Amino acid sequence: MLARRLADYGYRGFSATMMVLTLYGGYLCVMRGYRFSQRQKELKIAAENQDPDVLKD
């Protein structure tokens, strides 16, 4: 009985950890996409204004 309870706790702990890691991975992907879109906007504005300091990166 104790082994079964311990296994249940282990499974729940593992599942919770995987959920947290999945959410964190999703957050990282969203933030990367956001930064990419922001950078594209900056480059577009710099190209329109011909600002060489922004374009050289």
Distance separating alpha carbons of residues 29 and 21, to the nearest angstrom: 12
Reported as a single tens digit per residue, the pLDDT across 8-48 is 999 999 999 999 999 999 999 999 999 999 999 998 988 88
pTM for the predicted model, two decimal places: 0.68
Residues belonging to the chain: 57
Query: 57 falls in which pLDDT band (50, 70, 90)?
Result: low
Estimate the share of the chain in helix, then strand, then coil, as percent rounded to the nearest 5: 90, 0, 10
The predicted structure's pLDDT at residue 19:
98
Give the pLDDT score at 52.
64
